[in-house]
Amino acid sequence: ALGGVPTLLPDVPVSAIFLALFIAAAAGHMGLFQINKKRGRKFVLNAATFGFCMTRIIATSLRIAWAQQPRNISLGMAAGIFVYAGIPILFIANLFFAERIVRAQHPHFGWSRPFSAIIPIAIFITVATVLCLISAVIVQFYTYAPGPQQAARDIQLYGQTCFAILATLPLFIVGISSAARANPKIKMTCTLDKFGSGSMRAKVAISMISAVILSIGAWYRAGTAYPRPTPQGIPAPDYFAKASFYIFNFTLEIIVVCGWLALRIDTRFFVPDGSKGPFSY
């Protein structure tokens, strides 16, 4: 598997660095959430990002503990579960950014029932997929029969592919919406429903760049999941290296999380509570 079983070197110091980074990011996002809440401008996506950081704090802590007890099955299983459980939070958050951009650029289409159903459906599929992946991790660690192992592998392939598509979705949604908005006829006939601070171009850039970064990690994880696992005793391929694990998981994630914090998504993507229908932003 990607990253393999952690060892004292290099996993403990590297995990400790990411642990500190995610603690700082969690404090930043929760701090902004509480400040905005007191001002009557509750921005739930800061709290969601805080929740993601907490899953990474737990995941890095478990990897440190697992490195010290490499034969502890429970630690390995828990570490795997928290790696799977956290990442979809960022995918869903970026989908909310994409939804708000579309509703601002194309108010009537953005508030239509078919488009409004995208996020609830995505959340339902994501929760179901995470539960399936958790079950697959448990099966892989505690069951050695070929049948259940193959079923667990199939679930993992589905889950990683599903998450990769979910990570990429905002790229297409925002890209198509912005391209359509650039049409002179639409510009003339459809007023932009502005929201939050900053320009619409900046919002589009934040969502699309976030989607690119998250997609790189998601598609790498999906791509490395498809080759058949190497038998015990044979060195794992280079694409399973520890460096790949930390780069395509925690590094890309902390870039997005800290980027959202620095760029103040709480002001740029804020919409009034109770917004419902075209031009309610």
Domain boundaries, the chain: 8-269
Mean pLDDT of 52-58: 97
Question: Per-residue pLDDT tens for 197-206?
Answer: 999 999 999 9
CATH for 8-269 (2.60.40.420, 1.20.1070.10, 1.10.10.10, 3.40.50.2300) = 1.20.1070.10
User: From CA 256, how far away is CA 222, in angstroms rounded?
Assistant: 19
How big is the chain by its Cα radius of gyration, in Å?
A: 20
User: From CA 25, how far away is CA 21, in angstroms rounded?
Assistant: 6
Instruction: Detail the DSSP E strand segments found in 179-224.
Output: none
Mean pLDDT of 14-20: 98
Question: Per-residue pLDDT tens for 94-131?
Answer: 999 999 999 999 999 999 999 999 999 999 999 999 99
The structure's pTM equals 0.95
CB atoms within 10 A of CB 77: 18
On the CB side of 41, CA atoms within 13 Å amount to 12
User: From CA 46, how far away is CA 42, in angstroms rounded?
Assistant: 9
CA 33 to chain centre: 19
| Average pLDDT, rounded, for the chain | 94
